[in-house]
């Protein structure tokens, strides 16, 4: 397997994804569909011949369980795993736990869209994508990238917005470009990075 490999995976569907609720730092588990997505992600990686040297995930159970299910499929249940809240989902503040339709009725379609799709406007009491990146990227630079640069094959199971932060830096995307990026649940994205941390190759595994 080529060196400098980084695999990013958004967690499988959670109970609150299914209910159309803002989740953030709240901690729902995976749905049956989410479990199946995580297992399928592991099967796709196994079919590609992946063996990981270290794993990273957030402190939230939907990401941790996704990782565990993938590693079980890979036969790597004992893999060294680092959990850190720097990889948590964006904190949605007062929106957390609210149905997205109810939030639109309370604050208006336009305002909720701004909170969801702007780069630097946070919801009340919460984080913008910019402020999410402000905690995720220093962690990536300090902790994750050195592992990749050392030639270890690394997997990160995390969340839509913490992963967007990393993808923005890796791919050199603008704030406008990154907010348009959709990440499918349970779909591994494989990066081969050059020695400066730039993307030499990218591909997605879709089951």
Cβ atoms of residues 112 and 84 within 8 Å:
no
The Cα 102–Cα 72 span in angstroms is: 38
Using the predicted structure, report yes or no on whether residue 105 has a pLDDT greater than 50: yes
Using the predicted structure, report yes or no on whether residue 111 has a pLDDT greater than 60: yes
Residue 1 lies in a domain: no
Q: Which of 11, 37, 127, 159 is catalytic?
A: 11
Residue 112 lies in a domain: yes
The Cα 133–Cα 160 span in angstroms is: 12
Using the predicted structure, report yes or no on whether residue 207 has a pLDDT greater than 90: no
> How many CA within 13 A on the CB side of residue 156?
30
CATH number at residue 118: 3.40.50.1240
Q: Is 184 a catalytic residue?
A: no
What lies within 8 Å, CB to CB, of 128 at 6+ separation is 90, 118, 119, 120, 121, 122
Q: Is 11 a catalytic residue?
A: yes
Q: What is the pLDDT of residue 23?
A: 97
State the residue range of the domain holding 68: 7-49+60-150+160-204
Task: Indicate the DSSP class of residue 53.
Answer: S
Residue 55 lies in a domain: no
Average the pLDDT over 106-125 and give the result: 95
When divided into structural domains, the chain yields a total of 1
Residue 155 lies in a domain: no
What lies within 8 Å, CB to CB, of 197 at 6+ separation is 145, 148, 149, 170
Average the pLDDT over 59-80 and give the result: 98
Listed residue (129, 165, 194, 135) closest to 8, CA to CA: 165
Supply the pTM of this predicted model: 0.96
Q: Which of 13, 37, 73, 89 is catalytic?
A: 89
Tell me the pLDDT tens digit for each residue of 87-104: 999 999 999 999 999 999
């Amino acid at each position: 397997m080529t060196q400098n490999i980084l695999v990013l995976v958004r967690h499988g569907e959670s109970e609150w994804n299914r209910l159309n609720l803002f989740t953030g730092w709240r901690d729902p588990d995976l749905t049956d569909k989410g479990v199946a997505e995580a297992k399928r992600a592991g099967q796709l990686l196994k079919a590609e011949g992946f063996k990981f040297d270290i794993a990273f995930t957030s402190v939230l159970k939907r990401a941790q369980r996704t990782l565990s299910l993938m590693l079980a499929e890979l036969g790597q249940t004992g893999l060294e795993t680092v959990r850190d809240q720097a990889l948590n989902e964006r904190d949605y503040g007062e929106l957390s736990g609210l149905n997205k339709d109810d939030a639109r009725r309370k604050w208006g379609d336009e305002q909720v869209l701004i909170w969801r799709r702007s780069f630097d406007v946070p919801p009340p009491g919460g984080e913008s994508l910019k402020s999410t990146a402000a905690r995720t990227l220093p962690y990536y630079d300090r902790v994750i990238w050195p592992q990749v640069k050392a030639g270890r094959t690394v997997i990160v199971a995390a969340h839509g917005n913490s992963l967007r932060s990393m993808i923005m830096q890796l791919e050199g995307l603008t704030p406008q470009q990154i907010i348009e990026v959709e990440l499918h649940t349970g779909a591994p994205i494989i990066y081969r990075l050059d020695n400066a941390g730039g993307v030499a190759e990218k591909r997605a595994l879709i089951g």
